[in-house]
Structures are given as structure tokens and as C-alpha cells.
Amino acid sequence: MTSMTPGSTVASATAPTRPRSSYWSHLKYVMSENPVTGLAFGLFALIILAALFGPYLVPHDPLATGVGAALQPPSLAHWFGTDHLGRDVFSRVVVATRLDLLISVSAVAISFVVGSVIGSLAGYFGGWTDRITGRLVDTIMAFPLFVLAMGIVAAAGNTVENIVYATAIINLPFYARMARAEVSIRRNVGYVQAARLSGNSELRVLFGHIFPNIMPPMMVQISLNMGWAILNAAGLSFIGLGVQPPSPEWGIMVAEGANFIISGEWWLVIFPGLALMLAVFTFNLIGDGLRDLVDPQRRT
């Protein structure tokens, strides 16, 4: 670089070379350094596969009662046993992936979009925008979040959509706060000033220049929240405000199965519980992994 002549178009670049695939190599590096993250991405792929193809792969109709005798322990015919209506637990666990993923993905997507837009505006413009949204977010946060979700579902009726909305609302403050913080520290950095000089309108500066830069930390939050959204739906099911029967859903299966622990029908709770835990676990680990991936401190 020091050999370049000002104004000359020819350049013999001894420039630092970062191949375009650096992101992938970085990913590989993070994975190799942190086997747990590698594992998490593997599990994630598995969950996605189950959600996409699960219903076509399972041995039994997850809704069909009496495909086996009721309350049979795991066997070759029914890998995860059968429940009190003689339904195949394995089929139900696998098929449930789709609904659970649907709930958490859509809930998180809504809260991300709404929350980050609100938060970004508050962080960027400050003043009254900030104060009003701040109060709004504080108000939501002042409720114990799970109780708020309960209230919303109880008031609006327990449909899948309402569970999604309730979960979205209680997750909203996290995105709003994070977006606000991340935007406000970038509000006057060099490239933002430069963007203003380039004739960008304020909104374009915010959503064209700043927003893409706050995505990495938001991604981490998204991943952590996915797991939490699933748990939240499960908790709602436990108190009877969850998904309607007979839809297979992990939370409701665990909630129903929980009552069978004492009577010894452990397979009713263990398998959906494991699936639930695995999914939440995966999302949490991915969150950590993404943090490593996007944390500039860890990028050499």
C-alpha cells in the first residue's frame, strides 16, 4: 500500500487479502474451536428436517388413537411407547416439531420486526419518541412476562395465533431495548455522519446504514428467544392455556405427561421433554455460537 502513487491508477497491491469466503472460514474456525456450537448446528439441522419432513416419515398418524394399546412402555412397535389414548408417542413427538417451530419462529419474527423498529426509532430520534416507547416497553416489562402472556391468552382465547401474539408481545421489550441501545451508540459514528453527508434521509440512514449493523447482536437475541418462546408455549399448555388438543405439541405433551410421572408412565413425559429440551438447548447454544461468530473481539 505504501508503494502507491497518489493519483495513479496502477497499483501493485500488497494489500491484505481476505478471501470472500472468510465468513465461512470463520464459521469453521468457531466450530472447530467450540465443538458444542458445532453440535448445536447439527441439532438445528435435525430439528429443521423434522419440522419439514416429520409428518411424512413417522410410522403412525400422530392423531390416531388406539394404534396400540393405551399406556404401553417403549417397544419395537412403538419406540416411545403409547399414551393414554393409545397414540404413538414417537410420531407425536416428531410431528410436534413443526407446530412448535411455527409458534416460536412466528412469535419471534413478529417481536423482532416490531420491537426492533420501535427500538431503532427510539434510539435514533431520542426525545419524545424515546420517552413514549420507553414507557411502553417499561409497562410491558413491569409485568412478570409469563403472567402477561397468560393474561393475553386467557383474554383473547387460546388459539395458536393468540399464543403467538402473546409470546411476541412479551418478547418485544427485549428487541426494543436492544435495538435502542445498539442504535443509540451508533447514532453519531463516522459512517452514519458520512451517510448524512451523502444525502441520505434520516430514515434511510437508520434503516439503510445503522440497522444492518445491529443485526448480529439481534441474531443472538433471536436465537435465545426461540428457545424461550417454546418454553413459554409449554408453560401455557401446563396451565391449560396452550395449544388445542389433539394437536401434537411438546409443551402440552409434557404438561399432560407430567401427571403420569408419579404413576410410573415416564415415557409420556421424558420423550417430549427431551425433544423440548433439545430444541431449547439447540437454540440457546446457537445463540452462544452466533455470539462468538459475530463478536468482533473474537474475530482475528
Partner 1 sequence: MSLALKARKVGLRLLEAIPTVIGILVVCFLLTRALPGDPAAYFAGPMADAESIEQVRRNLGLDQPLPVQFVNYVTDLLTGNLGMAISTGQPVVAELATRLPASLELTLGALLLSFLIAVPLGVMAATRPNTWVDHLCRFLVTAGVSLPTFFTGLALMYIFYYLLGWAPAPMGRIDMMYLPPETVTGFYTIDTLIAGDWETFRAAIAQMALPLITLALFTLAPIARMTRAAMLQTLGSEFVRTARAAGLNGRRVLVTYAFRNALLPVVTTLGMVFSFLLGANVLVEKVFAWPGIGSFAVEALVVSDYAAVQGFVLSMALLFVLLNLLIDVIYTLIDPRVGEES
Partner 2 sequence: MDRRHFLKGAASLGLGASLLPYLKVLPASAATSETAVVVFGGTINSLDIHRSGTNRDSYQVAINCYDRLVTFGTKTLDDGSLSYDYDNVQPELAESWEISGDGTVMTFFLRKGATFWDGKPVTAHDVKWSFDRSVSLGGFPTVQMKAGRLESPEQFEVVDEHTFRITLPFSSKLALPDLATPIPVVINSEVARAHATEADPWATEYLHRNPAGSGAYKVARWDAGQQLVYERNEDWKGGALPGYQRVILREVPSQATRRALLERGSITAAHNIPNKDAKELASRPDIQVVSSPIENCIYCLCPNLDFEPFKDKRVRQAIAWAVPYERIFEQAAYGLGVPTWGGSKTVDDIAWPRRSPYSTNLDKARALLAETGYKDGFTVPLSFNLSHADWAEPAALLIQQSLAQIGIEVTIEKIPGANWRTIALVEKRLPLHLENFGGWLNTPDYYFYWAYIKGNLFNSSNYNNAEMAKLVDDTLDMAMDHPQYAPNVKRMIELAQEDVPRIPLWQPTLNVALTNGANGYQFWFHRQMDIRSLKPA
Partner 3 sequence: MTIPLLDVQHLSVDFATRNGTVRAIDDISLVVGKGETLGIVGESGSGKSVTSYAVMRILDRAGRIAGGRITYGGMALHKARERDMRDIRGREISMVFQNPRAALNPIRRIGQQVADVLVQHSQATRGNAREKAVEMLRAVKIRDPEQRYDAYPFELSGGMCQRVVIAIALACRPRLLIADEPTTGLDVTTQKAVMDLIVDLTREYDMSTILITHDLGLAAAYCDRLVVMEKGRIVEANGSAELFHGAREAYTRQLLQATPRIDSEVRDLLPAALRATAMPLPETHDVGEPLLTVKGLKKQFGKPGADNGHLAVQDLSFTIREGESLGLVGESGCGKSTTSAMVMRLLDTTGGAIEFLGEDIAAIPAAKFAAHPLRGKLQMVFQDPTDSLNPRWSAAQSIGDPLQRLASHMNRQQREARILELAALVGLPVNLLDRFPHQLSGGQKARVGIARAIALDPRLLILDEPTAALDVSVQAIVLNLLEDLKHRLGMSYLFISHDLNVVRLLCDRIMVMQNGAIVEEGNARQLLAAPATDYTRTLLAAIPHPPQAAAND
User: Which residues share a beta bridge with 82?
Assistant: 88
- 187: contact with partner 2 by CB under 8 A: no
Residue 86 interacts with, from partner 2, partner 1, partner 3, none (CB under 5-8 Å by kind): partner 2
3-state DSSP of 107-175: HHHHHHHHHHHHHHHHHHHCHHHHHHHHHHHHHHHHCCHHHHHHHHHHHHCCCHHHHHHHHHHHHHHHH
Instruction: Name which of 46 and 63 has its Cβ closer to partner 1.
Output: 46
- 203: contact with partner 1 by CB under 8 A: no
- CB-side neighbour CA atoms (13 Å) of 54: 22
- 227: contact with partner 1 by CB under 8 A: yes
Instruction: Name which of 193 and 259 has its Cβ closer to partner 2.
Output: 259
- 197: contact with partner 1 by CB under 8 A: no
CA nearest to 226, candidates 81, 106, 141: 106
Which of 14, 202, 244, 299 lies at the binding interface for partner 2 (CB under 8 A)?
Answer: 244
Report phi then psi at 246, rounded to 5. -95, 15
Q: Which of the ranges 3-11, 30-38, 65-73, 139-147 carries the binding residues for partner 2, by CB under 8 A?
A: 65-73
Least distance (Å) between residue 252 CB and partner 1: 11
Report phi then psi at 185, rounded to 5. -75, -20
- CB-side neighbour CA atoms (13 Å) of 290: 18
- 64: contact with partner 2 by CB under 8 A: yes
DSSP 251: H
- 57: contact with partner 1 by CB under 8 A: no
Residue 21 interacts with, from partner 3, partner 2, partner 1, none (CB under 5-8 Å by kind): none
Q: Which of the ranges 13-21, 69-77, 236-244, 248-256 carries the binding residues for partner 3, by CB under 8 A?
A: 13-21
- 70: contact with partner 2 by CB under 8 A: yes
Residue 76 interacts with, from partner 2, partner 3, partner 1, none (CB under 5-8 Å by kind): none
Residue 151 interacts with, from partner 1, partner 2, partner 3, none (CB under 5-8 Å by kind): partner 1
Residue type, 82: T
Which three-class secondary structure state does DSSP give residue 209?
A: helix
Instruction: Name which of 131 and 299 has its Cβ closer to partner 3.
Output: 299
Q: Which of the ranges 17-25, 37-45, 60-68, 287-295 carries the binding residues for partner 2, by CB under 8 A?
A: 60-68
Given a contact cutoff of 8 angstroms between Cβ atoms, the answer to whether 1 and 274 are in contact is no
Given a contact cutoff of 8 angstroms between Cβ atoms, the answer to whether 120 and 206 are in contact is yes
Q: Any idea what the Cα angle at residue 64 is, between residues 62 and 66, rounded to 5°?
A: 120
Which of 25, 33, 59, 201 lies at the binding interface for partner 1 (CB under 8 A)?
Answer: 33
Residue 152 interacts with, from partner 1, partner 2, partner 3, none (CB under 5-8 Å by kind): partner 1
User: Cell triple for residue 37?
Assistant: 456450537
Given a contact cutoff of 8 angstroms between Cβ atoms, the answer to whether 235 and 166 are in contact is no
- 194: contact with partner 3 by CB under 8 A: yes
- 245: contact with partner 2 by CB under 8 A: yes
Q: Which residues bind partner 2 (CB under 8 A)?
A: 63-66, 70, 84-86, 154, 158, 240-241, 244-246, 258-263
